[in-house]
Structure 1
Amino acid sequence: MVPSFDDTELAVHRLGAGRPVLLLHGLFSNAEMNWIKFGHAQKLADAGFKVIMPDLRAHGESDAPHELEAYPDDVLAKDALALVDALGLDDFDLVGFSLGARTAARAVISGLKPRKLVLSGMGLEGLAGWGKRSAFFIDAIDRFDEVKRGDPAFMAVSFMKTMKVDRVAARLLLQSVADTQPDQLAALTMPTMVLCGDKDQDNGSAPKLAETLADATYVEIPGTHMSSVTEGALGDALVEFLSGPAEA
């Protein structure tokens, strides 16, 4: 466990040795589900990376406080900066999927300077339009016990049940995530890979996001938003991009 800026304890999972790469998982998930279970972390470790995988606040084995003050604006980006500082990382790569990609972008805007950046499961509209996305998940939490198959929220509720999500903490967290406006993306100057499933439109257009960034490439893998993280192609794409020279 690593204490964050406010002493909230964050569980940090590690694998391998070598160049540090920080992986940030998606909403309602955790490091085990997003990065370890389907072999992505192992592929990076085998390629010579030290893989560092926190469970985000209110997720996995990390603390999930129920107090509003534990969820200030941009709390996940603040956690990312605090974690990099606590671990003494000064030359590292940063990868995020979905909420983790949104967090990675916010952390860079807030001053984090990874060598390379990967934004996965994320499009341009998803970074700027968090309010609508957040409202969808808050509604799923509020109607948790009444959502049936066929309801638009069914998959979200099913995943929360599978992951045993602390719904009180998750609801507070959802209200703390900040939007990223297109002009703020000018801060993302490092080589970046925008990585997305070919059937994933959950967070808008990934190709448009790549076009907006200063030094980005778009890479497509099979899958929807939920299934793309189960594809071996995700881990392969991470290894190829992060192992290459420091130009996108």
Structure 2
Amino acid sequence: MPSFTTSGLRLAYEVAGKGPPVLLIHGFASSGKVNWVDTGWVETLVEAGYQAITLDNRGHGQSDKPHDPEHYYPTQMAEDALALLDHLGIERAALLGYSMGARIAAFMAFNHPGRVVAAIFGGMGMNLINGLSDGNDIIAGLRAPDLSDLTHPTARQFRIFADHTGSDREALAACMETSRQPMARADVRRIEVPVLVAVGEADEMAGGPAALAELLPKGQALVIPKRDHMRATGDKVFKAATLEFLGRHSSDIPAS
């Protein structure tokens, strides 16, 4: 994978297709490939005439993996995403984030509204503000000597996922400590760009999408039918709604 360096870290990325750029920011313990390529998102966006840019967040995929929690605040990872746009010479892009990636997208849209045309917050509702209640259990699960030691369902789920993807579990534990930093309610109200908030109907990790969309000045809520947090990622309803949402704003995205 190609890479670039920012804040002393080497981060990996991929670019597919031509057209208005969409920066895809993956969730915790995932990667650009797992979150966006394997679920068909990159193919869907390219076929629809967009340029799909995937980034491996610090601590994930083929990017550098520091073990210090001080490297993983969402504001820092939002700056990584901005640095990638700078590296690629892209002035403005749409953002598609899932779970942790949606939190990163929110901080980027808040801090750099001039660089973001529109954003999709997938798998992230009111917990953008309320935080993640299972975070400490997930950290303990990642650091547990063996999967058989775990009984907490969410901790087991993320431990299995991390082992399946061959992740650096200590880097992920460090990431979980600080990347779940909530966004202030007042700051959510000041996000100027159009946002689609898309959450699975059975998602118990994200928090409700409607309440968050109501706080956003240009928010729109989508409930993804019959999907939980993990299974909503590549859902066809989610994809169709995203394409419709992007279509309403694609004329504002300079083609690259």
Query: Under a length normalisation based on structure 1, what TM-score does the superposition of the two structures give?
Result: 0.90
- Between the aligned partners of 2:77 and 2:118, the Cα distance in structure 1 is 19
- Between the aligned partners of 2:193 and 2:250, the Cα distance in structure 1 is 9
Other-structure match for 2:254: none
Instruction: Give, as a single letter, the amino acid of the residue that structure 2 aligns with 1:179.
Output: P
1:104 aligns with 2:108: no
- Between the aligned partners of 1:35 and 1:25, the Cα distance in structure 2 is 7
Other-structure match for 2:117: 115
- Between the aligned partners of 2:215 and 2:81, the Cα distance in structure 1 is 24
* Match 2:171 to one of 151, 165, 169: 169
- Between the aligned partners of 2:21 and 2:124, the Cα distance in structure 1 is 23
Other-structure match for 1:228: 232
Question: Number of residue pairs matched?
Answer: 246
Instruction: Give, as a single letter, the amino acid of the residue that structure 2 aligns with 1:111.
Output: H
Instruction: Give, as a single letter, the amino acid of the residue that structure 2 aligns with 1:154.
Output: R
The 3-state SS of whatever aligns with 1:170 is: helix
* Match 2:247 to one of 240, 243, 247: 243
Cα offset for 1:93? 0.4
When residues 71 and 194 of structure 1 are mapped into structure 2, their CA distance, relative to the original with a 3 A threshold, is closer
- Between the aligned partners of 1:64 and 1:167, the Cα distance in structure 2 is 10
- Between the aligned partners of 2:124 and 2:74, the Cα distance in structure 1 is 20
Other-structure match for 1:215: 218
The 3-state SS of whatever aligns with 2:163 is: helix
CA contact (8 A) 2:95 2:105 kept: yes
1:185 aligns with 2:194: no
Other-structure match for 1:201: 204
Other-structure match for 1:78: 79
The 3-state SS of whatever aligns with 1:207 is: helix
Instruction: Give, as a single letter, the amino acid of the residue that structure 1 aligns with 2:189.
Output: A
Give CA deviations for 1:135-173 in whole Å, capped at 9, x if unaligned. Answer: 232121122515457532221111111111101211222
Cα offset for 1:50? 0.4
- Between the aligned partners of 2:19 and 2:170, the Cα distance in structure 1 is 38
The 3-state SS of whatever aligns with 1:28 is: coil
Could you tell which deviates more after superposition, 126-135 or 108-117? 126-135
When residues 227 and 180 of structure 1 are mapped into structure 2, their CA distance, relative to the original with a 3 A threshold, is same
- Between the aligned partners of 1:68 and 1:215, the Cα distance in structure 2 is 33
Instruction: Give, as a single letter, the amino acid of the residue that structure 1 aligns with 2:231.
Output: S
- What 5-or-longer segments of structure 1 have no aligned partner? none
- Between the aligned partners of 2:145 and 2:31, the Cα distance in structure 1 is 20
Give CA deviations for 1:72-120 in whole Å, capped at 9, x if unaligned. Answer: 6732122122222222221210110000001101122222431111101
- Between the aligned partners of 1:90 and 1:43, the Cα distance in structure 2 is 23
- Between the aligned partners of 2:69 and 2:202, the Cα distance in structure 1 is 36
* Match 2:159 to one of 154, 157, 160: 157
The 3-state SS of whatever aligns with 2:116 is: coil
Other-structure match for 2:29: 28
When residues 23 and 6 of structure 1 are mapped into structure 2, their CA distance, relative to the original with a 3 A threshold, is same
CA contact (8 A) 2:37 2:43 kept: yes
Cα offset for 1:187? 2.8
Other-structure match for 1:137: 138
- Between the aligned partners of 2:150 and 2:189, the Cα distance in structure 1 is 42
Other-structure match for 1:43: 44
Query: Under a length normalisation based on structure 2, what TM-score does the superposition of the two structures give?
Result: 0.88
CA RMSD of superposed structures (Å): 2.1
- What 5-or-longer segments of structure 2 have no aligned partner? 252-256
